[in-house]
Amino acid sequence: MSNTNNNSSYGTIKQTTNFDEETVDPLQIEIEEFLKQSRTQNVEGNYFKLSFYGCIVLFFLLFTYLINISTKVFVNNSNASTTQNFMSSSGKLQPNVATTTTTKPNFILIVADDLAWNSIGYTSSEMSAVTEQITDLASKGIIMNNFYAQEVCSPSRGSLITGRYPLTIGMQYGMVGSVAEWGMPLDEITIGEVLKENGYTTHMLGKWHLGYFSPLFLPTARGFDSWIGYANGENYYWSKKLPDYPKNSDFITSNTTCYAPYEGDDKHDYSTTFYTSKAISIIQEHSYETPLFLYLAYQAVHDPFIDVGIYENGMPDSYIDDDILKSIHLNITGRLRQEYAKSLYMLDKSVGELYDALVEKDVMDNTYIIFMSDNGGCFYGGGKNSPLRGSKGTLFEGGIKVDSFIYSPKLANPGTTYDGLMHISDWFPTIMELANIDYSPDDDNALDGVSQISGWTGVSTPRSDMLYNMYTHLTDIEFDIWTNGSFAVRDSRYKLMHTYDDKTYGTWDDIDETTSDDDNLDSENGCAQQFVTGTFEYWLFDLNTDPYETKNIYNSPNIQHVNAKNKLYDLLPDYLTNAKTKMSMSFSEKSKKVWEENGNHVIPWANVDDLKNGDTYTYPTLC
């Protein structure tokens, strides 16, 4: 696997100044020359000059020092590098000035799939034995107690890598299907693109799920130097075949030049083990002449846990240490829930191995590990979000409130928890600040996310309100969200929501029965359905006093509740103004023909020229 920073441009993106070449500050030269002359001249008159100008110099240096301290109070041994950027009229990043005196930090961004709230040791006693590594790492970092993703995969992942709400990038409605001819719009700027422009080598492993019908939409056309993974929402852990199209394998390898079906000898390794092995290779082989950004989007703990024709009864017990296996059978009821626990244990083990690899390479001291789930757990897939209400696919807290933490020896306040409001889009600007990158996009690409560093240190409260989501119906953003569409918004205390009655998705009463059902091992993931037959209702919750959403106070005459409701309603028009229409609702049968012609491998099928619209893009072609 190559670890050389690829200098190909993406769309109209240009490359920044080479970070290996230190830019000399003319002001610094002038100051040093003045001091040198003052020291060598022994004229009495110069003594006064030295004293006078020396005071000016000292004042300037002290002022600069205080400014630097105020912007870097959060991180120990912060980077001395600064990068200034501006945006072109096309919305793509352009370079201005870059200076570097120290190495920028590395980032390992880990996303678990469908990880339920009641899963990690600090939120679940039931799963504590299978999450010891994750729990230990989180306890030494900063745990986000009030962190929100989106309710399903594609919107979350789009928001994460753009720093924008799904509504703002046209990803608000549902997930990108296997044969869908749409994806995250090409004018969106990704975190990979910005980091590459600022000297980073960027790699991705695992689940993409942001469109792939054209190679223009692949990760290696959108800011990543390499990618091995799957394009769709799910596949089998060993065979890598699509449950929806079981004769087709979804397993792709790509760099910025070309892509191909992955055919390595390890292609049938268990998914979590495979991606961890590749990640460790990247960590070990990277030269660190450029900082590393690794986006690791695991398949775990998404169902199905069986593999048709290989492991019909789920993961073999031989994968699990004996003591852990005993704990699973002793403490966890139901086959489906036990298979979920096995998958979670393999993920936990991998997180520990990644940490060990960073320590062994002697780069952990300059690395941030960020961990999160993409949405709440699905009870049809073994996940429990209790005591939170709801499941994956809903706007109740159980569908969107998830675990997240950051760990690094660079943190100034390790071993703490953060109660401030945080959205998945906030990781983009937070990473920019940790990397000391000044990213200021134009209005067309303005971030919805906010850096959370000042909140972690108690300096300020970065976020006072948040849009959960707003489903503009299909491609029509003018439809009446007040009567036939779902939305949810909150401030620091209250949550306003218009959505289906949660009886549509199942209530607390049937979750235990569902997660214990042996017949659900090959789940079709019913939690992912958003627009289904059901009754729309309005909801208002006081999350300070009712965090589990047990009491709907929407019709309460209490003046405080009425004012809170009106305040939240007032936020909605601004969000709708920034809505972007979903690029397409089309599906193609051509895809299956192309897959069949290429050995039943899932690959892009659309004509690139039909999508360029006169723009220039660099993208991989079929190898």
3-class secondary structure, 166: helix
Fold of 481-577: Arylsulfatase, C-terminal domain (3.30.1120)
Quick check: is 258 catalytic?
no
| Residue of 78 and 221 predicted with greater confidence | 221
CA triple 73-74-80, angle to 5 deg = 65
Does 20 score more than 90 pLDDT? no
| 432's tokens | 């920019």
Does 65 score more than 60 pLDDT? no
Dist. CA 296–CA 107, nearest whole Å: 10
> What confidence category does residue 161 fall into, taking pLDDT thresholds of 50, 70 and 90?
very high
Residue 458 CB partners (closer than 8 Å, separation 6+): none
Dist. CA 241–CA 602, nearest whole Å: 9
Question: CB 69: neighbour CB atoms within 10 A?
Answer: 10
Does 403 score more than 90 pLDDT? yes
Using the CB atoms, write b or e for 195-223: b if 16+ within 10 Å: bbbbbbbbbbbbbbbbbbbbbbbbbbbbb
Please provide residue 384's backbone torsions phi and psi, each rounded to the nearest 5 degrees.
-125, 125
For residue 137, CA distances in Å to 66, 335, 376 come to: 33, 29, 21
CA triple 198-109-77, angle to 5 deg = 60
User: Would you state the pLDDT for residue 582?
Assistant: 66
3-class secondary structure, 23: coil
3-class secondary structure, 609: helix
Q: Whole-number mean pLDDT of the chain?
A: 81
User: Would you state the pLDDT for residue 323?
Assistant: 94
pLDDT tens sequence across 170-210: 888 778 888 888 899 999 999 999 999 999 999 999 999 99
* Block residue for tokens 């594609």: 154
CA triple 475-299-9, angle to 5 deg = 65
pLDDT tens sequence across 462-508: 999 999 998 765 434 444 445 556 889 999 999 999 876 655 444 44
Quick check: is 378 catalytic?
no
The residue annotated as part of the active site, out of 153, 302, 527, 601, is: 153
CA atoms within 13 A on the CB side of 259: 32
User: Would you state the pLDDT for residue 393?
Assistant: 87
Average pLDDT estimate for 284-296: 97
Residue 107 CB partners (closer than 8 Å, separation 6+): 291, 292, 293, 294, 367, 368, 370, 431, 434, 435
Residue 361 CB partners (closer than 8 Å, separation 6+): 283, 284
Using the CB atoms, write b or e for 108-129: b if 16+ within 10 Å: bbbbbbbbbbbbbbbbbebbeb
For residue 101, CA distances in Å to 20, 194, 298 come to: 9, 20, 35
The end-to-end CA distance of the chain, in Å, is 16
Does 289 score more than 80 pLDDT? yes
Does 19 score more than 90 pLDDT? no
- In the chain, the amino acid numbered 327 is S
pLDDT tens sequence across 420-445: 999 999 999 999 999 999 999 988 89
Residue 492 CB partners (closer than 8 Å, separation 6+): 421, 461, 464, 465
| 145's tokens | 């107690």
The least confident of 42-56, 133-147, 336-350 is: 42-56
> What confidence category does residue 535 fall into, taking pLDDT thresholds of 50, 70 and 90?
low
Does 283 score more than 90 pLDDT? yes
Q: Where in the chain is the domain with CATH 3.30.1120?
A: 481-577
The least confident of 288-292, 357-361, 612-616 is: 612-616
Residue 83 CB partners (closer than 8 Å, separation 6+): 16, 97, 98, 99, 198, 436, 437, 438
| Residue of 294 and 89 predicted with greater confidence | 294
CA triple 69-71-75, angle to 5 deg = 80
The residue annotated as part of the active site, out of 55, 203, 209, 286, is: 209
- Give pTM, 2 decimals: 0.82
The DSSP secondary structure of 241-309, one letter per residue, reads: B-SSSTTSB--EEEESSEEEE---TTTTS-HHHHHHHHHHHHHHH--SSS-EEEEEE--TTPSP--BTT
CATH number belonging to domain 106-460? 3.40.720.10
User: Would you state the pLDDT for residue 56?
Assistant: 52
The DSSP H or E segment spanning 13 is none
Average pLDDT estimate for 517-530: 50
Please provide residue 298's backbone torsions phi and psi, each rounded to the nearest 5 degrees.
-70, 155
Burial of 412 (0-12, 13-18, 19+ CB in 10 A): middle
User: Would you state the pLDDT for residue 521?
Assistant: 57
